[in-house]
Amino acid sequence: ARQIVLRSRPIGMPTENNFGFEEIEISAPKDGEVLLKSQYISVDPYMRGRMSDEESYIKPFELGKPIDGGAIATVIESKSDILKKGDRVVGMLPWATYSKDKADRLRKIHTDEFPDGYYLGVLGMPGLTAYFGVMDICQPRYGETMVISGAAGAVGLVAGQIARIQGCKVLGITGSDEKVNVLKNEFGFDMAINYKTTKDLSGTISELCPKGVDCYFDNVGGEVSEAIIAHLNYHARIALCGQIASYNTATQEMGPRLLPQILSKSGTIKGFIVGDYQKRFLEGLSHLMTWLKEGKLHYTETIIDGFDKLPYAFLGLFSGKNIGKMLVKVNE
């Protein structure tokens, strides 16, 4: 089998040189274990944090050890009563073409109703993040205005559509004209703008949201957030989900500049990690599945072909190469 390890820790923007490819032998599974063939491997922005040696809510990748993350695999040999050959599973797996794991660490995919990749996207960690960020933190009310940054990504696409389902008017902020069109024409966003080409972002947001902004689902931070927060309404809620604009900056910005605006609107800003909601995952999943089946929620994926493309796909998250969930399909 082949695996990808962390060869060095990046300073600033990571490069393909931070990753190394290795050939490995995998021994036969022991009692309770299964042998797995990887099908889809997820690349996610939070992995950038794990490449650094800093304390966080999830431990750093180790130098010289395989990267790991969400993946879907097929059981090709089983020494467990829980899983049998041919089962498809989702779990935290190494970036490897084949791997071995304890069966009780994996969750079986029981249905063919949805594409397998959905279990890493809308029916996985990103979808749950969107669900709890919108429903629990933003608590939108009918007729309110919600702005979503990183709107065309794995989380943002779902967050915007859930806000629409709750009766909000939704503005998506994204990084290309193609994504603007997709958000408006395929995913039902009321409005969308390209933050890279809009000259006066704050002025444009003010025009598009004449009644102000009640909820802000923040995936990116930085200047995009500043432009949005200038238009908050009284008692606005901000779900602080991600800050991708600063994941690759070598130095931290000095001091929060947005607090006076939030204070003067009696606003709430709340950071959250999807794992906080573990006890409510089934509630979230059942809503997401229902909305998908009812045709109220749609999803898309950017699937890059080939195990070797994992570093490329991961780096592509930071230049916006994806619409919806970014996945790598393992073909060997």
- For position 315 contacting ligand NDP by CB under 6 A, the verdict is no
DSSP bridge pairs for 2: 23
**d(Cα 229, Cα 327) in Å, to the nearest integer?**
32
**d(Cα 220, Cα 216) in Å, to the nearest integer?**
11
Q: How many Cβ atoms sit within 10 Å of the Cβ of residue 115? A: 15
CB nearer to ligand NDP: give 291 or 314: 314
- For position 320 contacting ligand NDP by CB under 6 A, the verdict is yes
Q: How far is the CB of 176 from ligand NDP (least distance, A)?
A: 5
- For position 41 contacting ligand NDP by CB under 6 A, the verdict is no
- For position 96 contacting ligand NDP by CB under 6 A, the verdict is no
- For position 201 contacting ligand NDP by CB under 6 A, the verdict is no
Alpha helices in 53-176, H assignment, sequence order: 125-132, 154-165
CB nearer to ligand NDP: give 173 or 330: 173
- For position 122 contacting ligand NDP by CB under 6 A, the verdict is no
Amino acid 156 reads: G
Interface stretch with ligand NDP, choices 80-88, 93-101, 103-111, 313-321 (CB under 6 A) = 313-321
CB nearer to ligand NDP: give 104 or 223: 223
- For position 192 contacting ligand NDP by CB under 6 A, the verdict is no
284 touches 125 (CB < 8 A): no
- For position 138 contacting ligand NDP by CB under 6 A, the verdict is no
CA distances from residue 239 to 40, 47, 78, 153, 329 in whole angstroms, order as listed: 29, 20, 42, 16, 32
Q: How far is the CB of 178 from ligand NDP (least distance, A)?
A: 9
Angle 262-264-270 (CA atoms, 0-180°, nearest 5)? 25
Site for ligand NDP in 45-64 (CB under 6 A): 45-46
- For position 70 contacting ligand NDP by CB under 6 A, the verdict is no
Strand 145-149's sheet: what is its strand order?
A: 191-194, 169-174, 145-149, 213-218, 232-240, 268-271
- For position 129 contacting ligand NDP by CB under 6 A, the verdict is yes
Interface stretch with ligand NDP, choices 112-120, 175-183, 184-192, 203-211 (CB under 6 A) = 175-183
- For position 152 contacting ligand NDP by CB under 6 A, the verdict is yes
- For position 273 contacting ligand NDP by CB under 6 A, the verdict is yes
CB nearer to ligand NDP: give 19 or 314: 314
**d(Cα 117, Cα 286) in Å, to the nearest integer?**
17
Q: How many Cβ atoms sit within 10 Å of the Cβ of residue 272? A: 15
Interface stretch with ligand NDP, choices 93-101, 111-119, 218-226, 291-299 (CB under 6 A) = 218-226
Q: Three-state DSSP class for 178?
A: helix
Strands (E), 7-118: 19-23, 33-42, 68-78, 88-94, 98-102, 107-108
- For position 274 contacting ligand NDP by CB under 6 A, the verdict is yes
- For position 42 contacting ligand NDP by CB under 6 A, the verdict is no
- Which two structure tokens, joined as six digits, stand for 210? 């004449």
CB nearer to ligand NDP: give 106 or 220: 220
CB nearer to ligand NDP: give 138 or 274: 274
CB nearer to ligand NDP: give 75 or 90: 90
Find all residues with CB under 8 Å of 283, minimum gap 6, and list them.
Answer: none
**Which residues of the shown chain bind ligand NDP in the complex (CB under 6 A)?**
44-46, 125-126, 129, 150, 152-156, 174-176, 179, 219-220, 224, 241-242, 244-245, 272-274, 317-318, 320, 322, 326
